[in-house]
Amino acid sequence: MIASERTVAAPGGLRTIARDGGLLFAARLIAQASRLGYVLLVVRALGPDLYGVLVYLQAWGLMFLPLVNMGSQALLSRAFGCSLLEGQMMAQRLWTLRLVAVPVLTALIIGLGMAGEPDPAIRPLFLIIGAALVGRGLAAWSNNVLVANRRSDQVLVIELVFRLGEVAAAALALKWGAGITALLAIHAVGWWLQAASSALWVGAKVVRPAWRWRDLGGLMLLRQNAAAMMAGLALFTLLQGPVVLGRHVLGTEAVLGQLGLAMQLLSVLAAVPNALGIAALPVLVGAGADLGRRYLRFVVPASVVVALALAGISAVAGGPVLGLLFGERFAAAAPLLTVGLLVLLVPLAPAALLSQAALASTRPGALRHVAVAALGGLAGGLLAAGLAVPRWGAEGILFAAGGGAVVWLLLLIRIHLRLARTPS
């Protein structure tokens, strides 16, 4: 059952966060750079109309990804932070829970997508999206175990191989005249290959993905993971929900393609603070309050400054740059990108960091407050959408997502102020 007797290192402070965060940041950078390359290939090949349909299908799956991932990163970080044996047992319980719950969740996600899609030609494609979600959920287990064991360098290798491999496969498929169906199938197969190979790797290095039904405690695990799942759902819904909403309220697929490109680029940028927060979890779980405060005092203001700087650059040079990279047909995405950077990424980046830090807290009630904050952010976004979308269209969708992010951020700030006054 135990593949390795490697002991999880004790927290090493900000230097450890910097090292693990740097490695995981490099992994995310590779993933996002390959995603950007993928977008470059696909956008030019498909054009705004077909790209709008593709990005809508991908956004539908990504919006529910935190539920499939089951928020297990924080739980694994806590378990491996206590002892290697406890971490291995928790990892196997979470593997069993995935095998049981992910197919059921995916079936519901597919059903909802097909039921809400007006075009009968598009409905069967949700089956491929569901297959990709299952593979991605299983692959996430391996990545979570590696990050919890401070093996971010191995996550880097996995991301390098499979993300670049998917881009290469998509490039060949497009050269041979492939369409949306083939691109989605390549995506799904890539995640299943990653799930299988990374599970074998983790089984040899850390823990074998064994079946632990007798001591599963599935409902207890879901309750423990609920806060992380809600936090992830808030982040991904605010980033992917605009495209899904745009599919149903915007006039044409061409306009949806413009919004989809802007949101794809925003998602690439938003992955940076989220990656840093995930990398810091294993250290912050066992760290003192002083380290947590010093970490947040640095990364939260930095994330806001970077987001504001990107918004300024987009406002000045976004149109020519997007026209050069993606073609003149997508130059209209530049104003949407600028609005998104300003109203959505500015509050979303610090909110993602604060949320991950709160998940690491051991203070009473912290996880419950994280879940409430996430639900508050989602509710704020939905309320704002009802007011802004009829008046401003695509920009209104971004205003609504930004409003949800602001509510989420304010609630998280309130949580951290309360936790600072609560004895550990």
**pLDDT single digits (tens) 356-368:** 777 766 666 677 8
pLDDT of 241: 93
What CA–CA distance (Å, rounded) separates 417 from 143? Answer: 32
Mean pLDDT of 155-165: 87
Name the range with the highest mean pLDDT among 79-93, 154-168, 211-225, 378-392.
378-392
Residue 42 Cα distances to 52, 53, 171, angstroms: 11, 12, 8
Residue 58 above 50 pLDDT?
yes
Inform me whether the pLDDT recorded for 39 exceeds 80. yes
**Cβ partners under 8 Å of residue 394, min gap 6:** 246, 250, 255, 258, 259, 336
pLDDT of residue 290 exceeding 70, the answer is no
Closest Cα to residue 320, out of 312, 309, 336, 331? Answer: 331
End-to-end CA distance of the chain: 34
pLDDT higher than threshold 60 for residue 6: no
More confident residue, 297 or 44: 44
Least confident of 243-252, 287-296, 343-352: 287-296
- Helix, strand, or coil (residue 134): helix
Residue 315, token pair as written in the block: 């406002």
Q: What percent of the chain has pLDDT over 70?
A: 84
Lowest mean pLDDT among 286-300, 329-343, 389-403: 286-300
More confident residue, 44 or 295: 44
Higher pLDDT, 381 or 250: 381
User: Largest alpha-carbon pair distance within the chain?
Assistant: 62
Indicate the domain borders of the chain: 14-420
When pLDDT is cut at 50, 70 and 90, the band that residue 9 belongs to is: very low
| 342/306 Cα distance (integer angstroms) | 11
| pLDDT surpasses 90 at 277 | no
Check pLDDT > 70 for residue 262: yes
2 three-state secondary structure: strand
Q: What is the pLDDT of residue 139?
A: 94
Instruction: Tell me how far the alpha carbon of residue 345 is from its chain's centroid.
Output: 14
122: confidence class by pLDDT, cuts 50, 70, 90:
very high
> What mean pLDDT comes out for the span 156-165?
87
DSSP string, 158-195: HHHHHHHHHHHHHHHHHHTT--HHHHHHHHHHHHHHHH
pLDDT value of position 302:
81
Residues 6+ apart with CB under 8 A from 85: 2
- Residue 287 CB contacts under 8 Å (≥ 6 apart), including other chains: 11, 13, 360
353 vs 303: CA distance, rounded Å: 9
> With contact defined as beta carbons under 8 Å apart, do 351 and 304 qualify?
no
**Residue range 369-409, pLDDT digits in tens:** 888 899 999 999 999 999 999 999 899 999 999 999 999 99
pLDDT at 347: 93
